[in-house]
Amino acid sequence: MTPAAVSSTSSLSTLAVENLRTHFFTKAGVVKAVDDVSFSVGTGEILGLVGESGCGKSITGFSILGLVDPPGKVVDGKILFHGLDLVDLPEEERRRLRGSRIAMIFQDPMMTLNPVLRIDTQMIEAILAHEKIDRALARKRARDALEQVGIASPDERLRAYPHQFSGGMRQRVAIAIAMLNKPDLIIADEPTTALDVTIQAQILFEAQKLCRETGTALIWITHDLTVVAGLADRIAVMYAGRIVEQGQLGDVLDHPLHPYTRGLIGSVPSRNRRGSHLYQIPGMTPALLNLPTGCAFRERCDFADDACLDQPEITEPVPGRPVRCFHHFAGEKA
Amino acid sequence: MIVFLIRRTFQSVVVLLIMSLLVFVGVYTIGNPVDILISPEATQQEHEAAVKALGLDRPMWEQYRVFLTNALHGNLGDSFVFNEPALKLILQRMPATLELAFGAMFIAVIFGIPLGMVAGIKHHSWIGRAIMSGSILGFSLPTFWVGLMLIMLFAVIFGWLPASGRGETVLLFGIPVSFLTVDGLSHLILPAINLGLFKLSLTIRLTRAGTQENMQLDYVKFARAKGLSNTRVIGVHVLKNILIPVVTVLGLELGNVIAFAVVTETVFAWPGMGKLIIDSIDVLDRPVIVAYLLITVTMFIIINFTVDVLYSILDPRVRLGDVKS
Ligand SMILES: Nc1ncnc2c1ncn2[C@@H]1O[C@H](COP(=O)(O)OP(=O)(O)O)[C@@H](O)[C@H]1O
Ligand code: SF4
Ligand SMILES: [Mg+2]
């Protein structure tokens, strides 16, 4: 069974998000950070969630974990985890899923670990929050997790403080923490953005390996298409709080259906286009506060016309390729 | 660590020397104690005898040299008034002041940190606002007035707590303390509240600011993403981080509290150093004033030193060699 087959039916997916809306009720107005987002991810599958900064990727991740702080709120939709809707689950039950069944890794490794607590404290508490086991046993598991993510002399490193690690090493520690309880799903929110390129490549490789080995589903959030190009099985492209298209990685990269995706791909430097001018999507990411009606990409789109003054709904012109555009490229030869 | 200790000790000695000179000169230039000490009817001879006995006829630098030599031998001169060593007089009263100061700090910390955290976490709710309004009151009401109100309310109207003195004391490691007897503790409560109110407000504000700042940081979200309970996130992760600035500031404020004890000690007739120094200033009892100031400076130095060490224990990122002095 291919991952695609798994993910096409939400009942079999590890996670299926359906029509999720997360809005922030600010004094200036309602910010629709996540607006009608649907996707799913299955066992051992890696989904790349791609989009410009501020389009709602992190808030999507926090919504799944139940960590959206006021004035933000999940106002609509379903978050089905193994078929169980998390949206209405009591807080205590959500807490029990966090860190044990669903884990998250954050963007800035310099900020995610508590600076005044030792690594062992921060790892052991993550185990003991979910299982009543012996401290010594928890410690051994923490040690093994560090070893698994490639940290040398783990026993010694357990007693260190975060500031004694480099950025790359801290991110490995964060990944080790995320893996501690063998979760079914990891949400990785731009975990390599703050790292330099070699370390980024190592971490990508190892994250991929770990997921394949353990069968963990992985949502890899990034603003950088090149990062997911070497990593993901499927990608979902997000723009202004909405997913505008998704599909198998190769299909989307070879035949983008949405003008925004095409722009993103065009703006990636590549070998066969060396020397020629890089395409850049004109204009700026719109502010999510008081978005104009119609397609949010309208102002920047070369294909916009009067039809685009209405909000495009998701269609599936090609099976397994949902897209949100009136003038998608499904009929064209790319 | 050793380099730090040596450097710090050397700095402290220099500071003490400079302070002793400043204090000595400063005190020397105000008034003439003989005029106050001797009755106006005294003869010229009696007057000169008194001046000689006090060593006031010698040049100032000579007096300073004698003072310094004596000081190095632990002798800060005899009180003009009590005819006893100034140092002894002050050391006798120091435990009372220290007990009052620590009592005040205790109240500030025990109530200030939880209230500050609640105000920081629930800053939108009425309870957060109520705490903050209360802390503004604590900042702005004058200490002597609050002291009088406390006496009026709890001593006069309700008659729950005594209004003056230290009450019964017991010896703890040879030092008399009030807080270990019921009577002594009841005497300590009102003055400690009075003196601690300002620091309580300060602690609330510091803690609230720290809590609000820390709650926004990624490490809190990550801790929650690990599935930790709110109690653990706030009570361990956040608290440990905000304790660093709070302990540092409060530690440095301790010297301040000791110095400000003067007002409270006067209002509550608390037999501490503050009361002694006020009386001594009244009669220009120079040795006592100088000794008091020097002891206060020494205490500030010790306190700062302790705070630096404490800071390095609380914050693993700081090694003592790096601490700016
Ligand atoms: N606390 C908040 N209050 C108001 N708006 C917010 C808040 N947090 C996030 N947003 C809005 O949500 C949008 C999406 O944020 P985010 O998910 O962090 O974007 P990204 O795709 O870069 O991860 C942002 O444009 C921002 O304006
Ligand atoms: S709906 Fe219209 S404006 Fe929006 S992306 Fe498609 S063509 Fe462009
Ligand atoms: Mg983000």
Query: Does A112 contact B237 at a Cβ distance shorter than 8 Å?
Result: no
Q: What is the arithmetic mean of pLDDT over B98-108?
A: 92
Average of per-residue pLDDT values in chain A: 86
- Reported as a pLDDT band with limits 50, 70 and 90, residue A10 is very low
Whether the CB of A128 is below 8 Å from some CB of chain B: the reply is: no
Q: What percent of chain B has pLDDT over 70?
A: 93
239-298 in chain B: CB under 8 A from chain A: 240-241, 244
Q: Which residue has the higher pLDDT, B157 or B110?
A: B110
Q: What percent of chain A has pLDDT over 70?
A: 93
Q: Which of A261-265, A274-278, B22-26, B204-208 has the lowest mean pLDDT?
A: A274-278
**What's the CA gap between B287 and A79, in Å, rounded?**
78
pLDDT tens profile A301-317: 888 888 888 889 988 88
For residue A223, the CA-to-ligand 1 centroid distance in Å is: 14
Q: What is the arithmetic mean of pLDDT over A219-242?
A: 90
**Mutation target among A58, A116, A179, A193 for the B interface, most CBs of B within 10 A:** A116
Q: Look at residue A95 in the predicted model and tell me its pLDDT.
A: 94
Q: Look at residue B324 in the predicted model and tell me its pLDDT.
A: 43
Q: Which residue has the higher pLDDT, A264 or B47?
A: A264
SS3 state of residue A16: strand
pLDDT tens profile B139-161: 888 888 888 888 888 877 877 88
**DSSP bridge pairs for A189:** A221
For residue B82, pLDDT over 80 is answered with yes
For residue A219, pLDDT over 60 is answered with yes
Q: Which two tokens stand for residue A281?
A: 């999507």
Angle between helical axes of B143-150 and B182-215 (0-180°, round to 10): 130
A257 lines ligand 2 (CB under 6 A): no
What is the number of CB-based contacts under 8 A between chain A and chain B?
76
pLDDT tens profile A141-174: 999 989 888 888 999 999 999 999 988 889 889 9
Q: 3-state SS of chain B?
A: CHHHHHHHHHHHHHHHHHHHHHHHHHHHCCCCHHHHHCCCCCCHHHHHHHHHHCCCCCCHHHHHHHHHHHHHCCCCCECCCCCCEHHHHHHHHHHHHHHHHHHHHHHHHHHHHHHHHHHHHCCCCHHHHHHHHHHHHHHHCCHHHHHHHHHHHHHHHCCCCCCCCCCCCEEECCEEECCCCHHHHHHHHHHHHHHHHHHHHHHHHHHHHHHHHHHCCHHHHHHHHCCCCHHHHHHHHHHHHHHHHHHHHHHHHHHHHHHHHHHHHHHCCCCCHHHHHHHHHHCCCHHHHHHHHHHHHHHHHHHHHHHHHHHHHHCCCCCHHHCCC
Whether the CB of A232 is below 8 Å from some CB of chain B: the reply is: no
Structural domains of chain B ordered from first start: 87-209+239-286 (1.10.3720)
The amino acid occupying position A51 is: G
Residue with structure tokens 């286009």? A273
Q: Could you tell me if B309 and B320 are in contact, meaning their C-beta atoms sit under 8 angstroms apart?
A: yes
Q: Look at residue B186 in the predicted model and tell me its pLDDT.
A: 79
Instruction: State ipTM.
Output: 0.87
**What's the CA gap between B239 and B120, in Å, rounded?**
12
- Reported as a pLDDT band with limits 50, 70 and 90, residue B319 is low
Q: What percent of chain A has pLDDT over 90?
A: 47
**DSSP bridge pairs for A32:** A23
Structural domains of chain A ordered from first start: 3-101+183-323 (3.40.50.300)
Whole-angstrom CA distances from A53 to A187, A189, A223, B94 are 17, 12, 6, 62
Measured in degrees and rounded to the nearest 5, phi and psi for residue B75 equal -115, 110
Dihedral sign from CA coordinates of B5, B7, B10, B11? negative
